[in-house]
Amino acid sequence: MKPIVVLGSVNMDLVLNCPTLPLPGQTVQGDDFKTLPGGKGANQAVAAVRLGAAVSFIGCVGDDDFGRSTRAVLVAEGIDTSQLRTVAGVATGVAMIMVEASGQNCIALSAGANGALSVAQVDEAAATIEGAALLICQLESPLPAVQRAIAIAHAAGVPVLLNPAPAQPLPAELLAQVDVLVPNESEAAVLLGLVPGAAFDAAAAAEALRALGPRTVIVTLGAAGVQVAGDGNNRHIAAKPVKAIDTTGAGDTFIGAYAAARCAGAYLHAAVAYAQQAAAFSVARAGTIDAMPRVGDLPPLKAASA
């Protein structure tokens, strides 16, 4: 089985539960503080491997306790970490996460060692990328490294899935090399240069993003489901209602599950439905990686449907 290659971030998440998220200048009393492995790259890699994919990871951690423990988690999940570099003298990436009682969160990041992922490291991993079933990238890694990995994959005919998070405007040449783009609403708005807070039309946004190059655009809309634009159709797929405990990493779970399903042969809408089930499973539980499903936790994947 060809692996899914995930190029991305590894963070230690410092997670505090709060009754409500603090406003600027406000102090709120939280409880149940935890340190948990995270990072969008690591999360997506774990979500995919738990659902049956072979996964190789390209990224960086620091030479510190957070780096050692996050690496150990990826290894224990069965992910190939031979191209997860330990960078001397730099701290592992950290995410400060507050989760309120509704399940919503806010996150502030320190890139740390994630910022050390270089074009040279990507070039060293070229054979791995060229041998992938799918390359998955996000934007918690330096853009030149992401661009290089996508260019290598594109030249080798390896499909590319980009999760443009955290949001930033992207060069047209980059988007033209992406096969599957998976933004949330605010990331889609940034890519399209929409006015922040303006009314958002998910169907129009998905079509406008497709016009920039990706063959498939999946706009994740949280509890409102997803908007999927692919060849010849653009449709909204509702999410089943779920009582949210913690939405952190729901998008990452969706992406890893979608990737695993596609690489197992599922058609687009079957893979999206499977990914929605995986994300719903994760938001109903606390934590990010801790909350991700394994194969037996979900109804069997329907490999064939439109």
Q: For binding to ligand RIB (CB under 6 A), which residues are involved?
A: 9, 11, 13, 38-40, 43, 95, 107, 140, 248-249, 252, 288
Of the candidates 14, 19, 301, 10, which has an alpha carbon nearest to the alpha carbon of residue 141? 10
- Nearer of residues 158 and 181 to ligand RIB, judged by Cβ: 181
- Nearer of residues 135 and 279 to ligand RIB, judged by Cβ: 279
Q: How far is the CB of 8 from ligand RIB (least distance, A)?
A: 9
| 13 is a catalytic site residue | no
Q: How far is the CB of 76 from ligand RIB (least distance, A)?
A: 17
- Nearer of residues 77 and 301 to ligand RIB, judged by Cβ: 77
Catalytic residue among 32, 179, 252, 297: 252
Q: How far is the CB of 138 from ligand RIB (least distance, A)?
A: 8
Q: How far is the CB of 238 from ligand RIB (least distance, A)?
A: 22
- Nearer of residues 147 and 248 to ligand RIB, judged by Cβ: 248
* Residue closest to ligand RIB (Cβ): 38
- Nearer of residues 80 and 252 to ligand RIB, judged by Cβ: 252
Q: How far is the CB of 253 from ligand RIB (least distance, A)?
A: 9
Catalytic center residues? 252
